[in-house]
Amino acid sequence: MSMAAIVSTSVIVLLMIGTFNTVGIIAKRLDGASPVDTLRHRYLQQEKLALNIVQQIDHVTNQVDEDVAQQRSIVLRELFTIYLRFVEQELSPEAALGDERYFTVLQRFAEWHQLEQNLLTINHLYRAVCSFLAEAVPRYADHLSTAAAGLDAFDMEARPELADNDLRLQSIDLAETVLYDRRQPIALQLDQIYTIMVRQALYYKVQMVAKSTICTFGLSAQQVLYLLYEAIAMTELKGYLMMQFAYMVLRAQGKGNFTVESSARRNELQTRLNRTHELLQRAMEQTSRDYWRCDPERQAHRENETYLQFTRLLQGYIENEVDMNTENTCRETCGHYQYGHRQEQCYKELYCTRQPKCAGRIYDCEYVDSDMWICPSAPQSQRRYEYIEYENGMVRGRKGYCPRGTTKVDSWWRWIFWHCSYCFCVCDDNGPRSDRFVSLREAVSDIAQNKVVTGLRFLKQDRVIHLAVQQGTLMPQGEIDNRTLEWVPPRYFSVLSKGIRDGLDYHTLTYDNRSMDLDDVQVYPGYVLTGVRFRLLGTHLNLMIRMTEMNFTSGQLMDLDKSIWIGNDNTIARTELVLKQPDVPTKALSKSVPDSTNGQYVRFTPTDREADAAQTTVPFLDAQPVYTHRPVPLSGAGIFHKGQSKSGGFLAPKLLTYDFTTHIQRPLGANNDLPEVSAVSHSVAISTGLSEDRLPSAN
């Protein structure tokens, strides 16, 4: 082969290789494959392309040794170029173990020490392979440019500095290290990883403890399991890639055929993947996709930052029975005044003149003791009283220093028959200091811009509670573009504004209408969450979600005008989550835990009369933004209660992260064949200067 032919062949090959990743390859249809499975598929396509090029060296016969050496040099250059392009564009060595945070869930298991060594060994060697490729490809390019200039780049006696013999020796040494290292051969590392994760069922063990990591990682339990699989699968792919690369390097150097060994590694890959996917899918199906925010530390609670509250909805209130009827009589007892009474007057300007009047309705009165000392709260406080100490020694609220001084309040006798008692009641006063409104307006993502909901949070503005959404742009294979994440401002309003209507724009909580349903609402298969809102279902606030169809592979929302609002319409079989002796949630000694179930409801109620003098409305609302640290589309949303014994707890939004279980797919054909690559034979024939009829079938 002449020098001009070699240079011409090299130029043609370099031009052709640039088209292999685009025009030349017809990818196997992978509708719904997960990102890591799709990446593995793309690598296998490149492997088949590289293998077809390397196989051409077997057809170089009846040529002088110098021509054979040149053919091997060309094949090696193209092999290196294919692999360098893949590692630079698809599987960068910088992401050594994926996100290493997710491996910390394994540290509690005895198997972790061995597994960690396997992962580090593979990734360390992978970096070495990538460094070699990054150095080798430019050096071959220098040979090519020198040859194109008319210099004999392969004449070792005339230009020894341009000879590529050292690259050949380096590549052989690297390939033998990958395959035959006495202490840490890659095949052994992969088998040990498979043994730990699958044969010893570490995936199942992780599934059992992943739920406890929700406060650590900011991910749902299923996300932890899936991302752990993804990180390990990426490492396994690196190991498999290096072995196949090593076989092709040795084959191109004339060190053997290695077809049997290469096929054996491919069969082992498929066997591992089949068993891994089977076990992983079962584990993921049993793993929760719920994500919610854990409480901050007790001292870190801040109103309007970590929690919100309804104020003066139902509040402990001291009133004498003589003021709760129009006849000014004391003929009844406190227990008579149970439902919907009012303060009708202020008899003889007694204690009623020294406290803000309950301008609404009075409920649930009881007699405690005749005489008491009342510690009033500061005028700007949402409380009426700090504590009440009765003459019999009973204290309601937390007794302490009383800045405004206590007021002595005594019941009295009218004649000798009627006792005019001071009653302990609850006041439902919808006044200017009572925040008791919930927005019924929708909060949605911009589906016209392909944005989906990725997070939820409660906000309060102008005394109205709003449920707000975070949105992000949907990408192929269930990914979210982090650069587009943003909170969508709610459509704020004032309940006093003209045209704003109760029952349409907002709901007003009252003694009779103060329930919220606790539901998980999930989208249909093939849909994602694109909006939320509250509605009134009977007298209950009830969560609804909007869902929009998604093409998982392309990452495009579909049929936008056919988005659907759904909710849990159950109004009969619900059970109440009863708050027993609830105290102020921020005073709890330990963090709240979920204690409600899907299909329950809870009523907003005053705190316990003894613990807090019924001065606070509970549960509070968790105001922390709820979004996963690795954003994903959502398969639903929910409202749930979390608390502790004798705590009012919090109502909080819940996310149901997207279920990737069905997208874990096998990459090879029924016979473990590599993916189809079209036009490879023709392109390889041109690149090597051989006749096409002498090439083996690409299939």
What single-letter DSSP state applies at residue 647? B
167: in domain: yes
Residue 104: is its pLDDT beyond 80?
no
Mean pLDDT across the chain: 86
699: in domain: no
Whole-angstrom Cα distance, residue 17 to residue 51?
13
One domain, residues 554 and 642: yes
Q: What letter represents residue 408's amino acid?
A: K
The secondary structure of 246-262, three-state, reads HHHHHHHCCCCCCHHHH
Residue 227: is its pLDDT beyond 90?
no
Could you tell me the residue range of the domain that residue 336 belongs to? Answer: 314-428
pLDDT value, residue 18: 40
pLDDT value, residue 144: 52
Nearest residue to 516 (alpha-carbon basis) of 443, 456, 436, 585:
436
One domain, residues 441 and 419: no
Q: Is the pTM of this model over 0.75?
A: yes
- pLDDT single digits (tens) 20-69: 333 333 323 335 788 899 999 999 999 999 999 998 877 665 566 667 77
684: in domain: no
Nearest residue to 288 (alpha-carbon basis) of 640, 645, 555:
640
pLDDT value, residue 142: 65
Q: How many CA atoms lie within 13 A of 174 on its CB side?
A: 26
The distance of Cα 348 from the centroid of its chain, to the nearest Å, equals 63
One domain, residues 278 and 350: no
22: in domain: no
128: in domain: yes
675: in domain: no
One domain, residues 76 and 195: yes
pLDDT value, residue 7: 40
| 306 CB-near residues (< 8 Å, 6+ apart) | 296, 300, 622, 623, 624
Residue 430 DSSP SS3: coil
Q: Which range, of 235-239, 358-362, 653-657, 683-687, averages the lowest pLDDT? A: 683-687
* Helix 680-688 and helix 65-89, axial crossing angle in degrees, nearest 10: 130
| Number of domains comprising the chain | 3
Band (2; pLDDT cuts 50, 70, 90): very low
One domain, residues 80 and 165: yes
Q: Which range, of 132-146, 486-500, 608-622, averages the lowest pLDDT? A: 132-146
| Percent of all residues in the chain with a pLDDT value above 90, rounded to a whole number | 68
Better-predicted residue by pLDDT, 572 or 393 = 393
- pLDDT single digits (tens) 157-210: 444 334 467 888 899 999 999 999 888 899 999 999 999 998 888 888 888 888
Residue 436 DSSP SS3: coil
One domain, residues 455 and 422: no
